[in-house]
Chain A
Amino acid sequence: MSVRSIAIAFAITTMASLSGSQAAYQGFAGLGSAAEGFSVPKPGLLFRFPADHGPHPDFRIEWWYLTANLEAPDGTEYGAQWTLFRSALAPTEANGWSSPQLWMGHAAVTTSENHFAAERISRGGVGQAGVVTGPFSAWIDDWQMTGHAVPGADQLADIRLTATAEEFGYELRLLATGPLVPQGDNGYSVKSATGQASYYYSQPFYAVTGSLSLPTGNVAVTGKAWLDREWSSQPLAEDQTGWEWFSLHLDTGEKLMGFRLRDEGEGFTAATWITADGRPDPLPPAALKIVPARTAKVAGRQIPVSWNVRIPSRGFDVTTQPLNDQAWMSTSIPYWEGPIAFEGSVRGRGYLEMTGY
């Protein structure tokens, strides 16, 4: 059994054609785009918490995606990623091995010199991986994201995050200093001109303390983190081949989420401007402009690692630089994911994800 085939299977259901793997795409094009029997996001739905922190098994794909920009006392910068993907083979849940839910975890730590990444894959139904609320817990094997919020507060307001792999690990505590933020149209995030969409909300206001364990030893860190929650059944149009996705912490305390989905034409961009007190301002399509500023050879391919990101309507114009050009996730579905810094009209830190290269 090659892990690769599992992962490719997973990739097709989660990231659809974005994996860029021709063979996988051809083998499973049907699966990638149609929503057979699965629920489809519709505009106008209001999130209900804490239920919506938990899984939505009637949707094909879902993720709990956390990225953190961290700093040691000596000023050394780090990035950390913790992601749990859910992928359903059928729109139901069942106890035991007959559960059609598959889970995949990715964890990574980025330094200016190294990028460590690890992956876990599991079936649902038996307790090896899953997400529950009340109290909140998301886990795959020994990687965990657990909620410790006081009663009455949002269950994600205080979370602990652990992941350990052969070369690295971390233990982080995240305290939310702001509210949950719905993306797009009150949580309905459109992904293409033809109407593909997902449900999407974020918690971009985490203050982080904790420690990283690296081959060189343990490092105490503090910093900022951003959690994305997204679920859908048919997130992308068939001609979309990959994306660039930015989550930016501005030094002003404001946040910016923006993405571009690449297609045969100009691509589809969307962005949400978030005020320092957590009010979202969804920008109209095409308000965000991104242009590659520098490419680097990463894992044998040329990838634009530095970007010029502009929102002319807001006078926002920055250039991003990665902490490490080689932040390549050599997981079964490979992609680029790493911490970035930006300067221009405003300075700050953030995370960049690029798929389909």
Chain B
Amino acid sequence: MTMWTAATALLSHWRQRPLQLGALLSGLALATALWSGVQAINAEARASYARAAAVLDQNGLANLVSPNGLAIPESAFVRLRRAGWNVSPVLEGEYRFGATRLRVIGIEPLTMPAETNSVDLENAGELFSFITPPGMLVVSPKTAEKIRGQTGLALRVSDRMLDGAAFIDIGLAQRLLRRDGELSRIVIAEEQRPGLEPLGRLVPALSVREPNAQTEVKHLTESFHLNLTAFGFLAFAVGLLIVYSTIGLAFEQRRPTFRTLRCLGVSLSRLAVLLLAELVFFAVAAGAVGIAIGYLVASLLLPGVAATLEGLYEASVPGTLSLRPEWWVSGFAIALAGTLVSSTQSLLRLMRVPLLAAAQPQAWGRSSEKGRRFQVLAAAALLALSGALLLWVDGLQAGFGVLGCLLLGAALLLPAVLSGFLTLMQRTSSRALVTWLWADARQQLPGLSLALMALLLALAANVGVGTMVSSFRLTFVGWLDQRLAAELYVAARDESEADRLRAWLATRVESVLPISSVDAEIRGQPVQIFGVVDDPTYRKHWPLFVGTPDVWDRVASGDGILVNEQFWRRERLRIGDELDLASDWKAAVVGVYSDYGNPKGQVIAGIDALTFRYPQVSRLRYGLRVQPDQVADLRSSLSDEFGLPPENIVDQAALKEQSRRIFDRTFLVTGALNIFTLGVAGLAMFSSLLTLSEMRLPQLAPVWATGVTRRDLALLELLRTLVLWLATFIAALPLGLALAWVLLAVVNVEAFGWRLPMYIFPYEWGRLGLVALAAAVVSVFIPLRRLAGIAPSELLKVFANER
């Protein structure tokens, strides 16, 4: 018998069962789609961080930095140059052009090593414009659009530039940022002449940051990407469950074919090769479709992700996707690997099956009692591991470990729980038909258990993530109300305007709260230090987490500071700990406040203490306390009196609205992935019910023969599906809540540095339940219609010819 004949014999199976083929391919494609979609987003974002690091931070080269975060005096650069070191100075900071805040990177083009490719000034004229007043900004096309007309500086548009950042001359940077004679870091070129005096002797106060050191953005966004990856993986795992069950079933159903082929002389190895080839073909075909869908999904989600990353981490990621080989190759690889893993068991069984053993389609579905006990043991072990990780291991990875073990353990436990439940129901019922219904459901359970596990995971993920997001939102909105206590926020355009503004406001508002901050580095972390005046607004509203009773007095006196929660947790600070805020400034931590949505550490100090140490601190922005009904008047008189553009006067409501919008955007992606996962679970349910309905004729025929109509049989089937769905849904609720708790109390703390209280939203569960119910009803619909319309002769055949 030729290979080809054997292959067509094997493949004919799929022609007879197109739905099964559909389930297999779509399960695989969807799983690959979600996985590769998430990977595409991650790859794009990471590539853009790498680009940012290479272009903006010159991170391919070593840099000299100040370990305590203080500014580097320009003289250090000159000393190094005069000792023969090939180095170049950089000063970075944030600057507002109109309403747009840009990261400005002041560089010195004559000494900047060519390999950094920082600025592509095309000719000498551009170089002159760059280094001579008024100066020039090198920006991306998008940034140029935003700030055109907002600045008197020349704009040079460069496609290589990243959004939200601008290269300017170092001298201009010092002027704009009011940091005369200061540098942020010093870039060390690769080429150096021999015989140089060691850096440690020339500039002992500075330390070398090695090339390609992990950048801040990469570090901050790591948790976000890990989150996405975890979601992608969950969806992939659910998809693989479909593939696993479908392949297992297809192998079982083809046993007679295998037996026949073997009897006709096809060797076992040849059969195995054929089946393997078939699987690889399916994996590649479905993988290709999945990658295409994944690309689509990723390009739909990417703008949201980009917005989130920008809002949350100030990381600039383009909203458009490029086809990167790393992800489509990994997409194919994971589709193949997934298929092979899910079919290993079936292939192994094929090897072991005796040549002439009778086909037993049910044997596959019915797991033995021993197997079930093993499953329960494994579940218990996983749950115990999850608990152990929770108690004794720190870190984001451990947090996800807790989640993974919890979900997998619970999923493995599900069949046992459901079986127990059905046994109980069976015992309590007295009517024969009802008893049969429960017993039959229990008998059906092994075949459905994979689909139910998928459903459980999807539902629990939905409940968990939904609870987390809603709890976060509720806390966040409440926190915004406290935090944004001032009715109006106003920004002066320069110091002299700020002076006039303060004088003018003094008699017109209840209080003026300056918003002044400097960027510093404390304990090696970038931190913003804010200065506050002593005002009842803070005493009444500021969202303190922990604090001494006299906290505001101590802040006002200058010897106490407040830190935000993320910094507090990250540094494991305690009340009373002293921090070095500057070389000559130590202060004790007297309180901790929540500061959601800020990836960086933050410190609040008395404004006098701050301006004493940082006399150059900008005093342009103010929060104004006025009666709410006077806001509109004050606003218009401010713009009349000072000619301030609208974007410089923001009222509380607008600011809150903006913050909420950023928040909602942040979780858009999460929501979308949730829906996809639920869809995959629905598909798993559908494919399982479909295959079961085909195998269940022998069980149903006797019941039909005792006089139950086909319509009633169909209704009973529906009822049973709904009961199983309901039981799974109920089991998913505590699991989902546990998941939410881990997310809020463990993963969030590790990923973002804040812990959130958990709120429960039963209404959302109801909605989710309805969606899941719809999925269950849809998935049971085709098998039911088939059952209701089945010809009595088919049912009779069961008795006439028992296979």
Interface residues of A (CB under 8 A from B): 1-3, 5-6, 8-9, 12, 24, 27-28, 89-90, 96-98, 100, 102, 121-123, 126-128, 139, 141-142, 164-166
Contact = CB atoms under 8 A, between A and B. Distances in A.
Given A6-B109, A90-B132, A97-B108, A28 B82 contact: no
Contacts of B110: 6, 102, 121-123
A126 B78 contact: yes
A6 B180 CA distance: 25
B170 A97 contact: yes
19 contacts: A1-B120, A3-B114, A5-B124, A5-B127, A8-B124, A12-B124, A28-B124, A28-B125, A97-B174, A100-B132, A121-B110, A123-B110, A126-B74, A141-B82, A141-B84, A142-B81, A164-B195, A166-B193, A166-B194
B83 interface: yes
A164 B82 contact: no
Contacts of A28: 124-125
Contacts of A126: 74, 77-78
A16 to B, nearest CB: 13
B193 A164 contact: yes
Given A12-B124, A164-B193, 6 more contacts: A97-B170, A98-B133, A126-B74, A128-B77, A139-B82, A164-B84
Contacts of A97: 108, 131, 169-172, 174
A42 B684 CA distance: 94
Nearest to B79: A127
Contacts of B121: 1-2, 5
B111 A122 contact: yes
A6 B131 CA distance: 11
B181 interface: yes
A122 B109 CA distance: 10
B614 interface: no
Contacts of B75: 127
A164 B192 CA distance: 11
B109 A1 contact: yes
Given A89-B132, A128-B81, A2 B124 contact: no
Contacts of B81: 122, 128, 141-142
Contacts of A6: 109-110, 124, 127
Nearest to A28: B124
Interface in B127-156: 127-128, 131-133
A2 B110 CA distance: 9
Nearest to A3: B114
Contacts of A165: 193
A24 B78 CA distance: 31
Contacts of A8: 123-124
A5 B123 contact: yes
A194 B240 CA distance: 88
B83 A142 contact: yes
Contacts of B123: 5, 8, 27
Nearest to A127: B78
Contacts of A24: 124
Contact of B180 (A5, A96, A102, A121): A96
A1 B125 contact: no
A356 B35 CA distance: 63
B592 interface: no
B685 interface: no
A214 to B, nearest CB: 13
A70 to B, nearest CB: 21
A280 B678 CA distance: 97
A6 B120 CA distance: 12
Interface of B: 74-75, 77-78, 81-84, 108-112, 114, 118-128, 131-133, 169-172, 174-175, 180-181, 191, 193-195
B89 to A, nearest CB: 9
A245 B120 CA distance: 36
A28 B124 CA distance: 9
Of the listed residues A28, A98, A100, A102, the one surrounded by the most CB atoms of chain B closer than 10 A to its CB is A98
A96 B174 contact: yes
B128 A89 contact: yes
Of the listed residues B77, B172, B193, the one surrounded by the most CB atoms of chain A closer than 10 A to its CB is B193
B171 A9 contact: no
A142 B197 CA distance: 11
Contacts of B171: 96-98
A357 B283 CA distance: 67
Contacts of B84: 141-142, 164
B119 A1 contact: yes
Nearest to B195: A164
Given A96-B180, A123-B110, A27 B124 contact: yes
Given A28-B124, A96-B174, A122-B110, A166 B83 contact: no
A6 B122 CA distance: 10
Contacts of B118: 1
Nearest to A99: B171
Contacts of A123: 108, 110, 131
B472 to A, nearest CB: 45
B108 to A, nearest CB: 7
Contacts of B194: 166
A5 B170 CA distance: 18
Nearest to B116: A1
A123 B194 CA distance: 24
Contacts of B120: 1
A162 B175 CA distance: 35
A128 B78 contact: yes
A95 B194 CA distance: 32
A121 B88 CA distance: 12
A24 B124 CA distance: 8
B110 to A, nearest CB: 5
A123 B78 CA distance: 11
Contacts of A141: 81-82, 84
A96 B181 contact: yes
Contacts of A90: 132
Contacts of B193: 164-166
Contacts of B78: 126-128
Nearest to A11: B124
B132 A1 contact: no
Contacts of B195: 164
A141 B109 CA distance: 16
B134 to A, nearest CB: 11
A5 B108 CA distance: 14
B411 to A, nearest CB: 57
A121 B111 CA distance: 7
A87 to B, nearest CB: 11
A6 B124 CA distance: 6
Contacts of B119: 1
B90 to A, nearest CB: 13
Nearest to A90: B132
A128 B84 CA distance: 10
Of the listed residues A5, A90, A97, A122, the one surrounded by the most CB atoms of chain B closer than 10 A to its CB is A97
A139 B78 CA distance: 12
A352 to B, nearest CB: 28
Nearest to B167: A1
B765 to A, nearest CB: 59
B109 to A, nearest CB: 5
B312 to A, nearest CB: 33
B429 to A, nearest CB: 83
B415 to A, nearest CB: 66
Contacts of A98: 133, 171, 175
In the A-B complex, list the 7 residue pairs whose CB atoms are closest, starting with the nearest.
A97-B171, A9-B124, A142-B84, A127-B78, A1-B109, A141-B81, A128-B81
A6 B130 CA distance: 11
Nearest to A128: B81
B744 to A, nearest CB: 49
Contacts of A96: 171, 174, 180-181
Given A98-B133, A128-B78, A27 B125 contact: yes
Nearest to B78: A127
A2 B132 contact: no
Contacts of A122: 81, 110-111
Of the listed residues A8, A24, A142, the one surrounded by the most CB atoms of chain B closer than 10 A to its CB is A142
